Amino acid sequence: MKRPWISINLAISVDGKICCTDHLSSGWTSTEDHARLLELRRGKDALMVGMGTLLADTMALTVPDQDRQPLRCVVSRNRAIPKDHPVFLRAGGEIHLLQTEVGGEPSETATLHRGSLLDFITVLKDRYAVNTLHCEGGGTLIRALAELDAIDEIHLTMAGHTLFGGTEAPTLSGVPGAYFANSMRYSLTQMIASEDGSEVFLSYQRSEAQ
């Protein structure tokens, strides 16, 4: 598969949840974690999020103090991005919307693509010269990338201060109680504790032997 190099970034609670059962916005991790999130965006050709994450976190998908801003890519089943969303109010890279279902809402504010996630990331590589793509969730989108075997690097914040609980709270696999069909091997490349020791910042690189 001809595709960009793809990294993901997310935070998980002590019990392995990426959010609570109410799917509330982020902001439950430290200011150190937020600074790391912004730094991980730096130098990437494109950023990608699912529609639910974009709306919950009111994301602008920009990189502070960087002249060349990455493309801003949003993946949805059939929704358009609301016209008053902050992503349109802050200067940044071109906005691209993928709708994976037929008959989605028209979009007047973003370049609209329809088709599969695989087709989309291929188009980003071939048509828009995207060589590095960074995904910030949510779990459903990360699961879709994993099922394509298309995750090269994982950045993970282990938040030892939070226990979400709840059998319906989403996990990294996107679906509570659902597991990936196959194992995927990664090597730990970085482990840094926060100043107060309540969070650990981890990075994993895809292993050559799969």
pLDDT: which is higher, 158 or 16:
158
Q: Looking at the predicted structure, is the pLDDT value of residue 160 above 70?
A: no
Lowest mean pLDDT among 15-19, 29-33, 90-94, 144-148: 15-19
- Count of structural domains within the chain: 1
Q: Residue 29: which domain range?
A: 5-206
Contacts 24+ apart (CB under 8 A), 41-45: 41/70, 41/134, 42/66, 43/132, 44/7, 44/70, 44/132, 44/133, 44/134, 45/4, 45/70, 45/71, 45/128, 45/129, 45/130, 45/131, 45/132, 45/133
CATH number (domain holding residue 148): 3.40.430.10
Tens digit of pLDDT for each residue in 29-54? Answer: 668 878 888 999 999 999 999 998 89
- How much is the pLDDT for 57? 80
- How much is the pLDDT for 8? 95
Q: Looking at the predicted structure, is the pLDDT value of residue 21 above 50?
A: no
pTM of the model: 0.87
